[in-house]
Amino acid sequence: MMIALNKRANPSPLFATLSPFIALTLTLVAGVILFLAIGKSPGAALYAYLIEPLTEGWSLHELAVKATPLILIGAGLCIAFLSGNWNIGAEGQLVMGAIAGAIVPVLIPDFRNLLTLPLMLCLGMLGGALWASIPGLLKAKFGTSEILTSLMLVYVAQLFLDWLVRGPWRDPAGYNFPQTVRFPTEATVPAIDYASGRAHWGFGIAILVALGLWYMLARTRRGFSLRVTGQSPRAARFGGFSPGRTTMFAFLLSGALAGLAGIIEVAGAIGQLRPVISPGYGFTAIIVAFLGRLNPAGAILAGLVLALSYLGGEAAQISLGVSDKIARVFQGMILFFVLGCDTLINYRIRIAGQSSGGVIAETPAATTGSDQKRDIDAAASAVPEAGRHA
Amino acid sequence: MLEAILISIATAATPLFLAAIGELVAERAGVLNLGVEGMMAMGAVTGFGVGLATGSPAIGALAAIVVGAVFSQLFAFLTLTLASNQVATGLALTLLGLGISGQIGEAYVGQPGIRMGPVFLGLDPIFWFSLLLLVAVAWFLFHTKPGLKIRAVGDSHVSAHALGVPVIAIRYGAVAFGGACAGLAGAYLSLVYTPQWVEAMTSGRGWIALALVVFASWRPVRVLVGAWLFGAITIGQLQVQAMSLSTITGLPAPFDSIVGALKAVPSQFLSSLPYLATVLVLVLISRNRRLALVNTPASLGQPFVPDR
């Protein structure tokens, strides 16, 4: 059996919409197989994983709490990835944003008024943007691979946070625990409805930011230049868009949003700095961006789905005794299936059963006239063609 | 003393070298597999688990090689058969590998592992094997016909395809080799370097290995040089950390933790040195654009769909 790809003349709008859903369905199927393999009832497991977290008020709040950083970072990464800038160091930018924002409650604890929180959020964005500007600048100036530099800086940021909370920023009254003082009320993101759960207004900010980015991408010149640069840097240059400037913009924006996610996480959900402030939101947000098909509005839904995977992992640990680490396995599978399904958008997949030898061992066959026609004529895709190589 | 330091540098350098030499072959074939970290994690947990179960570190290492190669084929199927984006798919492989290894390794946390002992000059068999591997890869890539084909596929998959070279099949093989090497590199960590299992114990070494390939401008011997350089940085910073720790022993109990916290100040800084050095090295290499352009496989990272 061999799989052959035929390029579509135009990306399929049908599969562009369907591919994330197909991917999620395939993840579910894989989940059923996985649970059967480890001897758990798939029905009970999927209920614990997917439904249970949605049945109670408090857990819906938790969903919003976990979705907040995922949506914020994921929406920013959509912009970065679309423009061809592989910022995979959002986890580090989240940490630096949290540190920068925490300057206010930790170093100037007496500054307590209506401006405290806005100042913290601004500093958080600044911290994330500055940290992201390092790989951005190195790429724009020297052409250094942003993939590796942005990732290396994650470790540096985490070690810096570790040093701060164990050293100079440690709460003197904290019984030697590696953590800062608890942030005062003025430095806390207020809860949406304190009586019913933990969800805070950061969730609202995340939704607004994602919608704003969606508008920018779809409707503004800036958004257009970002998309063009990602699809064809050469065309972008002819269009007068500077790739270097686009790179900087993409890094500063995605870094600022990761930083905002960081400060919102510590000022909203945690309430202080600790050695570890994120269960890998910055990396999971990469999955959010792709599951949302690199559309910031799609990142909202995708962020909720991935937030559910975290919650489901915790729920499954309690009710099934499965390690919550299985959530990470599912998250990785989602990304795999999304990337695989995205192939359907640009290609038709033909499965030919009559393969005789090696996968692609044949010499290239002569092109027939009907080959060109097939890309244009959708109906022709059903017609099997002989003499084509893989 | 010098001998001990050299041995520890070699031990720190070997996992980096193994992962990087495998990735080098994949990249020479034009495939950028960012899943090294995930494949290493899979190798580490496999090596540890199988080594523990069989009592033989050698069988553990072999199992890790197989698992690394098999696991890499997930990436190969998506990027080569389904022509998915290599950067994104590599990231997916890393995330999945870290997830699965964390899940499997749950049972091994805190268990003492078995160590593969030294066989010659104080060094373990995998180290000596890695040197053989260097010679083999350098010879294979530059002095054999299949090696030439690999490089041709990486430099221009269109031309290679037109000449009848099976581009996709060669790339599948190159990715599998990279996976096998990364798996062995991971097993080295859990069987030789620190014989235990800790979640995400690869701690960025897969990424440093990726940087080493760039640093080496895709030349096998330079990968070894780079790996030793990073091994030396790692061991150097650990030595300094150990020294600052040793001065605090013997203090009365209440001061112990305070001084310990103070001593912790430089330790995080020292720990971040290998990562900062990676960034620095990448910048220095990429500043010389001509050098980078001459050596980079021209088709690196580009999907290939044999069309017509």
Q: Which domains does chain B have, with CATH numbers?
A: 2-295 (1.10.3470)
Give the pLDDT score at A368: 38
Q: Quote the DSSP letter at residue A2.
A: E
CA distance B292 to chain A (A): 10
- For residue A335, the chain B residue with the least C-alpha distance is B92
Asked if residue A98 has pLDDT above 80, the reply is yes
Are B210 and A359 an interchain contact pair (Cβ–Cβ within 8 Å)?
A: no
- Please give the tally of structural domains in chain A: 1
Residue B133 token pair = 């591997």
**pLDDT per residue over A293-332, tens digit each?**
899 999 999 999 999 988 888 888 887 777 778 888 889 9
Share of chain B above pLDDT 90, in %: 47
Whether A101 is covered by a domain: the verdict is yes
The partner residue sitting opposite A148, judged by closest CB among B74, B96, B211, is B211
Residue A86 token pair = 């592989």
Which residue reads 């630096």 in tokens? Answer: A96
Q: Give chain A positions within 8 Å (CB) of B278.
A: 148, 152
Residue A218's domain comprises: 41-321
Are B95 and A283 an interchain contact pair (Cβ–Cβ within 8 Å)?
A: yes
CA distance B306 to chain A (A): 7
Give the pLDDT score at A382: 33
Whether A230 is covered by a domain: the verdict is yes
Helical axes A13-37 vs A296-320, angle rounded to 10° = 10
User: From CA A81, how far away is CA A110, in angstroms rounded?
Assistant: 41
In this prediction, residue A364 has a pLDDT band, given cuts at 50, 70 and 90, of: very low
Whether A133 is covered by a domain: the verdict is yes
Give the number of beta-carbon pairs within 8 Å between A and B.
170
CA distance B275 to chain A (A): 5
Please report, for residues A165, A259, A313, the alpha-carbon distance to residue B65 in angstroms, rounded to integers and kept in the order given.
40, 39, 30
pTM value is 0.86
Give the pLDDT score at B257: 59
Whether A4 is covered by a domain: the verdict is no
Mutation pick from A147, A323, A350 vs chain B, by most beta carbons of B within 10 Å, is: A147
Asked if residue A202 has pLDDT above 70, the reply is yes
Give the pLDDT score at A371: 39
**pLDDT per residue over B33-90, tens digit each?**
999 999 999 999 999 999 989 989 999 999 999 999 999 999 999 999 888 889 999 9
Give the pLDDT score at A65: 92
Query: What 3 state SS string does B123-172 have?
Result: ECHHHHHHHHHHHHHHHHHHHCHHHHHHHHHHHCHHHHHHCCCCHHHHHH
Whether A389 is covered by a domain: the verdict is no
Are B92 and A336 an interchain contact pair (Cβ–Cβ within 8 Å)?
A: yes
* Any B CB within 8 A of A232 CB: no
ipTM for the assembly: 0.86
Give the pLDDT score at B244: 66
The partner residue sitting opposite A371, judged by closest CB among B204, B268, B308, is B308
* Any B CB within 8 A of A276 CB: no
Q: Give chain A positions within 8 Å (CB) of B269.
A: 159, 163
Whether A371 is covered by a domain: the verdict is no
Are A143 and B102 an interchain contact pair (Cβ–Cβ within 8 Å)?
A: no
Mutation pick from B37, B93, B96 vs chain A, by most beta carbons of A within 10 Å, is: B96
Are B271 and A159 an interchain contact pair (Cβ–Cβ within 8 Å)?
A: yes
User: From CA B114, how far away is CA B119, in angstroms rounded?
Assistant: 15
Residue B276 token pair = 């900062």
Asked if residue A357 has pLDDT above 50, the reply is no
Which amino acid appears at position B151 of this protein?
A: R
Averaged pLDDT, A156-162: 94
- For residue B172, the chain A residue with the least C-alpha distance is A359
Which amino acid appears at position A3 of this protein?
A: I
- For residue A348, the chain B residue with the least C-alpha distance is B82
Please report, for residues A129, A140, A245, the alpha-carbon distance to residue A137 in angstroms, rounded to integers and kept in the order given.
11, 5, 10
Are A329 and B100 an interchain contact pair (Cβ–Cβ within 8 Å)?
A: yes
Share of chain A above pLDDT 70, in %: 90
Residue B60 token pair = 């553990």
**Which CATH number do you get for residue A194?**
1.10.3470
Give the pLDDT score at B266: 60
CA distance A383 to chain B (A): 17
Q: Give chain B positions within 8 Å (CB) of A149.
A: 279, 282-283
Which amino acid appears at position B113 of this protein?
A: G
Mean pLDDT score across all residues of chain B: 87
Averaged pLDDT, B194-200: 86
Q: Give chain A positions within 8 Å (CB) of B103.
A: 323, 325-326, 328-329
Are B78 and A340 an interchain contact pair (Cβ–Cβ within 8 Å)?
A: yes
User: From CA A97, how far away is CA A109, in angstroms rounded?
Assistant: 18
Whether A372 is covered by a domain: the verdict is no
Whether A379 is covered by a domain: the verdict is no
Give the pLDDT score at A380: 34
Are B265 and A167 an interchain contact pair (Cβ–Cβ within 8 Å)?
A: yes
Q: If contacts are CB pairs under 8 Å, which of residues 307-336 in chain A contact chain B? A: 323, 325-333, 335-336
- Greatest mean pLDDT range, B1-10, B130-139, B192-201: B130-139
